[in-house]
Amino acid sequence: MTDPTHDPARTSWVASANGHPEFPIQNLPHGVFSPAGSGPRGGIAIGDSIFDVSAALELGLFGGAALSAAQEASGRSLNPLLEAGPAARQALRRAVSDLLATGGAGQPHAARILHDAAACTLHMPARVGNFTDFFAGINHVITAGRITRPDNPVLPNYRYVPVAYHSRASSVRVSGEPLKRPNGQRKLPTEDAPTFGPCRNLDYEIELGIWVGPGNPVGEPIPIGQASSHIAGFCLLNDWSARDIQSWESQPLGPFLGKSFSSFVSPWIVTAEALSPFRGPQPPRPAGDPAPLPHLLDANDQATGGLDIDFEVYIHSAKMRADGIAPHRLSAVNASVLYWTVAQMVAHHTSNGCNLMPGDLLGTGTLSGPDVGTEGCLLEMSRGGQKEIDLGNGETRRYLVDGDDIIFRAHCSRKGQVSIGFGECRGRIGAVT
């Protein structure tokens, strides 16, 4: 549902927010930042600035329900805010929007409550207790399946089960950190035995990250009709993948060291409320596909569970940077390619009584379209390393090389609404140590 905080006519006294491609006043994502010379604290992105929640609390700018929510959003981790639930987030969103709106009560305190974002350090927004990665992009399933299982690319359970695996929470890191090329066992088809050494086929996967809000007790599943209230917000997620390690180790129990070395998230949590204007019907399933089982089927979720988010993947090689060339766009895709809704992922995750906790992170799995230029990873673009990808400057890639920057961007745009963004999720590949 939308409210005055989404009003496209609403402007801000923070001049850079008006027309900002990522963080207009209609967005207001949460994060954790450090101003120069100070420790981490909760903040909210607004234009080219960061709104300091702690400073606003010290000035007494919050009252009512927004006061406790601001306290929960002011610390070194946003887990308390995630746990508080939708009503608390909504109260804080309305209060901050009013403070920052043109003529709002925050303007006289601009020097205290605003920081230049470029001069701040961004941190992980929350402590990740658990990380579950789904496989909800059916085009990735089909394309990757044709590479690894040409005769049977989509297994029978896929159209009934939101397939997932538990990944490694401890190695989830924030955008901008360097990534060391991992070591592992790898075996080419022409080799008689595996060898141990640096990953040869390093890849990215562009995903939508989902931050869990209020959890559920062990043994008490979250019904599909209530699942959306347990979703606090979203981010960009890069599920780095060591394809050669992954292909050798994955049978029979699935990904392990080929995935657990690191995943990156963008630093801002775009709240579920900010995405309200960009929701719509979940795209219909292909003719002949079965309907979801009853515990995964809800009329409201089918009517509003689709997300209209445009994603882009860029590469910026060491040569491009040296030559002063802008990053090269590898692909673009919309979240409409998801076969399962986010609520269905949450409901299925807890359907056996598994408990989710505030700050748990879910990944949608690779977002890929059916056409050239919509692939969500190099595995698909290079057809398993068989095809060279032209970067437009004389360079080619099959997989990533040391020095490559991978950059994810995403935006929501809809007629009659102010567009919002997620900020970047980026990482540079370094040599193994």
The pLDDT tens digits for 171-187 are 999 999 999 999 999 99
Q: What CA–CA distance (Å, rounded) separates 130 from 421? A: 26
Model confidence band, residue 342 (pLDDT cutoffs 50, 70, 90) = very high
Same domain, 25 and 90: yes
pLDDT, residue 148, reads: 81
pLDDT, residue 150, reads: 84
User: Over 90: is that where the pLDDT of 361 sits?
Assistant: yes
Same domain, 157 and 138: yes
pLDDT, residue 153, reads: 86
User: Over 70: is that where the pLDDT of 251 sits?
Assistant: yes
Q: What CA–CA distance (Å, rounded) separates 150 from 251? A: 17
User: Over 80: is that where the pLDDT of 330 sits?
Assistant: yes
Same domain, 73 and 197: no
User: Over 80: is that where the pLDDT of 11 sits?
Assistant: yes
Boundary-marking domain end, from 123, 152, 174: 123
User: Over 90: is that where the pLDDT of 377 sits?
Assistant: yes
User: Over 90: is that where the pLDDT of 18 sits?
Assistant: yes
Domain that holds residue 95: 4-123
The pLDDT tens digits for 55-105 are 999 999 999 999 999 999 999 999 999 999 999 999 999 999 999 999 999
Q: What CATH number is associated with residue 224?
A: 3.90.850.10
Same domain, 274 and 294: yes
Same domain, 101 and 192: no
Boundary-marking domain end, from 123, 150, 174: 123
- The stretch 262-272 carries a mean pLDDT of 98
Specify the amino acid at residue 393. Answer: N
Same domain, 345 and 415: yes
| 309 Cβ neighbours under 8 A, 6+ residues apart | 208, 275, 278, 334, 335, 410, 411, 412
Which residue in the list 6, 30, 140, 328 is annotated as catalytic?
140
Q: Is residue 316 among the annotated active site residues?
A: no
Model confidence band, residue 151 (pLDDT cutoffs 50, 70, 90) = confident
Q: What CATH number is associated with residue 50?
A: 2.30.30.230
Phi–psi pair at 229, nearest 5 degrees: -75, -10
Model confidence band, residue 432 (pLDDT cutoffs 50, 70, 90) = low
- What is the pLDDT of the chain when averaged over all its residues? 96
Same domain, 16 and 67: yes
Boundary-marking domain end, from 123, 149, 182: 123
User: Over 60: is that where the pLDDT of 433 sits?
Assistant: no
Give percent of the chain with pLDDT exceeding 90.
94
Same domain, 76 and 207: no
The pLDDT tens digits for 51-64 are 999 999 999 999 99
Same domain, 325 and 383: yes
Domain count, the chain: 2
Same domain, 295 and 213: yes
Same domain, 317 and 406: yes
Same domain, 259 and 346: yes
User: Over 90: is that where the pLDDT of 335 sits?
Assistant: yes
pTM to 2 decimal places: 0.97
- The stretch 350-374 carries a mean pLDDT of 97
